[in-house]
Amino acid sequence: MAEKGITTPTRKAAFLATLKHESGFRYNAGEAGNSDVYRGRGFIQLTSAANYGSAGRDLGHDFLNNPSDAASLQWSARIAGWYWTVARNINAAADAYDMGAVGRAIGYSYALDPTETGNRCTSYKRALAHFNGGSLPVPESAIDCTR
């Protein structure tokens, strides 16, 4: 996280809330029920040949021919950091207290599920309060949860 600038309370909270819902904090998580070669894998659930290829080029590893490596202890965290800052600039959304934009950037598959959106935002608010010494740094109304 430090390597990718995920160091402020709001960035850490958004990143960890996202990983909680993407993978349950499991580096070796896989997308349930999907047998595609480039299915969601790892902390951030990397998907699609395009993303596997881009991550591989930027991180110096051939994920296209070794897709299961995306869910390995060696690569999962590095991919999550890469996706958060290189593939997308999600720190900017976190800085704006915009979990809706975080969700859109991640592209989670429950896009039309208001319960999942609410759960992700609740996790963010809890983590944000934790990293801010026990209370939110802004009024709750300043946090945008709209997916």
Residue 43 pLDDT greater than 60, yes or no: yes
* The residue type at 18: T
pLDDT of res. 16 = 98
pLDDT of res. 28 = 98
pLDDT of res. 110 = 53
Domains of the chain as residue ranges with CATH: 2-142 (1.10.530.10)
- Whole-angstrom distance, CA of residue 127 vs CA of residue 12: 8
Contact 45, 59 (CB under 8 A): no
pTM recorded for the entire structure: 0.94
pLDDT digits (tens, 9 = 90+) for 88-141: 999 999 999 999 999 989 986 555 677 888 899 999 999 999 999 999 999 999
When pLDDT is averaged across residues 29-34 and rounded to a whole number, the result is 92
Q: Is 83 left (phi over 0), alpha (psi -120 to 50) or beta?
A: alpha
Task: Using CA atoms of 22, 23, 29, 31 in order, give the dihedral in degrees to the nearest 10.
Answer: -30
pLDDT digits (tens, 9 = 90+) for 67-89: 999 999 999 999 999 999 999 99
